[in-house]
Amino acid sequence: MTNKFFFLAILLSSSFTFAGGVYVGNGGDAVYCTPPLHNGEPPFGGHYALDYMMTLNADNSDAAAPVQSWEESRDRIRGLLAKGYPSLLESFDRFLADLKNSDDWTRPRIWLPAPHGLIDIQDEEIRRKVPQNCGTSGNGISVIQTVVRNKQPNIIRYEYDSTILAKLHEQPLQFSFLMVHEWLWDHADSPQIIRWANQFLHSKKAETLSAEAFRLSLKNIGISSRSADLVSVCDRSPGVRDAILASGANVGIQKGCSAYTPEDLGRLSTLTVSADEMTNDDFTGLERLIVFTFSNSNIQSFPEELFDLNPQLQNMTLNNLPNLQEIPERLFLKNPKIETFLATNVPAFSKSLKCFAPVSSLHNLSIQGISETTLPENWLAPLPDNVQLVDIRDGNLTSLPPKFFDSVPKNLKAVYLMGHKFSPEEQSRIQKAASIKGVNVLFSFH
């Protein structure tokens, strides 16, 4: 059996069926350890994934959960992601979907054998030494380039040393380390980050953590659910894809989604979207987006990193999102330039405004169509000091808590409360409480 067909047989033996595509690039490496000849020498012999060797404990032990096959390791990691980081599970499944592809160039990824091996592309960022019997060359480390990963506009091409992969497959944990390494390039651009994320995902420790702690661990290591590279417009959520094409047409870009370049995306300053689902990758490349409108959707939650790569956002409008019940507190963490924000019929904002705390330049905040009869006592407290106007007209409010105005932005000048159901007595009480803080409250424009 040729090396090419040996590797394909390994992959085809995994009985999974997934769909998708989204991706990035670089390489994966192995080292060879000469079997020890004497007692007391490091207990390594054969081929090992470089990530594994670079993350050993002081006593040469590893932290990995034992596995008997690549399939067992793959399914174990899928289970961890399903519990702790579902958006990464979707990405992992898309990666797995094309492991068996060696000849279909219409797929998002393709794996091509290099029958005579690969040249070392020297992307390892090696900071540790390995045991003396494991590929050392003088003061350095002789790594074996096992996979080279090349990102093209619509496909990722993997070239692999099929002989070394076959050797790694003899030790399923090592094969798993290499496969997961290749997938993690989708979500990080540093070998060091990938190395420690790889070690963590294979560790027994990961199995003991809560979903929140598991997710936080990966984030602290440096893994984001966003792709590490620009995602094709075609691969974005359908509503976002269509909105990008429409916005592009308005500025003279007459192209299909597959032909969009980073320069094209950089020309878009406005975007109007209606979509019931979105991912953290949907707005990548829209670095000059200034005005964003999102309307008429049944979406239930926003990905918390959705706007992380849109630092120029200044005006945002959300209309008629009745099923959006919660806003991630860090949603606008990297959007300090937002000046004006309008939300109408968005229940999530009746509960909390904490997501606006990082938006230092916010001046005008309008939350309209509130269905509740009152608001939380500390509702205004998270707003940045530069907020001057809070417009919460048109809804069902009948009262506000007695201490509602105790904690308000330093520069707040006015609160609009037109179109609610306050009694004359409650209006009087509210105006008195607000005036103590120097805030003008309007119940009508007359």
Classify domain 233-442 by CATH number: 3.80.10.10
pTM score above 0.75: no
Token code pair at residue 71:
């399939």
Encoded amino acid at 32, one letter: Y
Token code pair at residue 62:
């590893």
Which of the 8 DSSP states describes residue 231?
P
Report the C-alpha gap between 49 and 122 in whole angstroms. Answer: 15
Give whichever of 65-74, 153-162, 183-192 has the largest mean pLDDT: 65-74
Residue pLDDT, tens place only, 175-224? 999 999 999 998 888 889 999 999 999 999 999 999 989 999 998 998 87
Mean pLDDT of 48-74: 89
Report the C-alpha gap between 364 and 344 in whole angstroms. Answer: 14
Mean pLDDT of 50-64: 85
Cα first-last separation, the chain:
87
Sorted by where each begins, the domain ranges of the chain are 3-221, 233-442
Which of the 8 DSSP states describes residue 203?
B
